[in-house]
Each structure stands twice: as structure tokens, then as C-alpha cells.
Amino acid sequence: MWLQRSWVIAIAGSALLPGAASSQAKVLSTVSSPLIAAAATGTISVSIASGAIQSLSGVVDNAPNNFPSTVGITLTWDLAPSTGDVQVIGYFSNPTAAMTSGPVSIPSSWMRGRVLTTGVQGAPTTYTAFTQSGAGGVGSAGGSLLLFRQPILGNSKTGTLTVDLQLQLDLTGRTLAAGSYTGTLNIRAVSQ
């Protein structure tokens, strides 16, 4: 009896398996295509490499007064190649009071800047007053100065540039009231 059961199981198994494999046609599903996307945001940073604190002692009336050291501005960027350029703008938040001593103010039009680094695009090479309007939402109307422009091309989408900015308090034809004046020059970059 044991032999008979084994023989029945063997016949049943061989009858089912080959029939199923040979009579089944290949069936494919439809194609589903999920949309896959990734976005890397660009970055721009501006830092002061040197000269973060500027001080003039012994200010002379009726003359230009140059600050003794330069401000080293470092721009670092990682942007899409389609970005046109990055503009670095220096500005005073309140153009009528770039520097103050109590109730007395020095307007931004008395403050001047120039970039000493050669070959930098859009940079003022002679002392220029902080009287421009901002760009791209950066700066203040009448209290800004375009310090330089960095083109972003396919081969320069990532990089670093350091420039030296020299500042001047121009008192030509002016007398400054005695006092200790302080103010903040903001430096910010914007891509266009």
C-alpha cells in the first residue's frame, strides 16, 4: 500500500507541474512612471576677512579722512550656472544717519568707498559716495554703493573672491561737531 500511494502522488505531481508551465502565457503589467525630482538650493555668503572694526582718530575738518585699514570682503558662492551674476552691495540702513554721536548725524553721502583689488567687475576704483539705490531688494535708497559684481558662468558656478574695500569720511567743505561717532556699514550679496 505504501508503494501505491507513492505512485499516485508521483503521477499527480508530474501531471500538474508540466501542464501549468507550458500552458501559461507571459503576462506583463502596464508601465507606471513616478516623476522623480531633486533640487539643490544655491548659496551665497559674505564674510569680513579683515578690518571688521574701523576707527578714525584725529578727524580733520575740510579734508578727506581715510580710514587706516582696508575691509577684506570674502564672497563665496555655489549657484546654478543659469544665474547671471552676484552683486555685493555696501549700505547704511539710514542714509541720513550713517554715523551718529548723540543727536548729531553724518549722512551716507559723506562716506565714500573704493575697491583696491584690481580686475574686479563693477567695482568703484575711485572714492565713491554711498548714495546709490540698492539692487534686488538689498540696500537702502540713497545710502548704498555697489562694491563689485561677480559673473556666474558655467565654469564659475562655485567659487570664492576676496576684495579690499577702503573707506573714507569726506569732510571737504564741512566741519564736524565734536563727538564720538559710530555707525554700521552693512555688506550683503544678491544674485541677479
All 3 cell numbers of residue 113? 568707498
Cell match 558662492: residue? Answer: 77
Cell match 542714509: residue? Answer: 95
> What is the reported pLDDT for 111?
98
Comparing 10-14, 88-92, 114-118, 142-146, the range with the smallest average pLDDT is 10-14
Task: Give the percent of the chain with pLDDT over 70.
Answer: 88
Whether residue 9 lies inside any domain: the answer is no
Question: Which region holds residue 146: left if phi is over 0, alpha if psi is between -120 and 50, else beta?
Answer: beta
Instruction: State the Cα–Cα distance between residues 26 and 42, nearest whole angstrom.
Output: 49
> What is the reported pLDDT for 21?
52
> Residues 147, 108: contact at Cβ < 8 Å?
no
Question: Where does the pLDDT of residue 130 fall: very low under 50, low under 70, confident under 90, or very high at 90 and above?
Answer: very high
Which CATH number is 112's domain given? 2.60.40
All 3 cell numbers of residue 5? 500511494
Whether residue 97 lies inside any domain: the answer is yes
- How many CA atoms lie less than 13 Å away from 43 in the CB half-sphere? 8
Question: Where does the pLDDT of residue 2 fall: very low under 50, low under 70, confident under 90, or very high at 90 and above?
Answer: very low
Taking CA atoms, 185 is separated from 13, 37, 71, 108, 139, in Å, by 89, 41, 11, 10, 10
**What is the domain range of residue 174?**
43-51+63-191
> What is the reported pLDDT for 124?
97
Whether residue 113 lies inside any domain: the answer is yes
Instruction: State the Cα–Cα distance between residues 88 and 152, nearest whole angstrom.
Output: 13
Per-residue model confidence as pLDDT tens digits over 70-106: 999 999 999 987 788 999 999 999 999 999 999 999 9
**How many domains is the chain partitioned into structurally?**
1
Whether residue 19 lies inside any domain: the answer is no
138 DSSP 8-state letter: B
Residue 150 β-bridge partners:
86
All 3 cell numbers of residue 175? 566741519
Whether residue 135 lies inside any domain: the answer is yes
Average pLDDT, the chain: 88
Which amino acid, one-letter code, is at 37?
A
Whether residue 119 lies inside any domain: the answer is yes
Whether residue 10 lies inside any domain: the answer is no
Whether residue 105 lies inside any domain: the answer is yes
32-69: string of b/e by CB count within 10 Å (b at 16+)?
Answer: eeeeeeeeeeeebebeeeebeebeeeeeeeeeebebee
Instruction: State the Cα–Cα distance between residues 145 and 124, nearest whole angstrom.
Output: 9
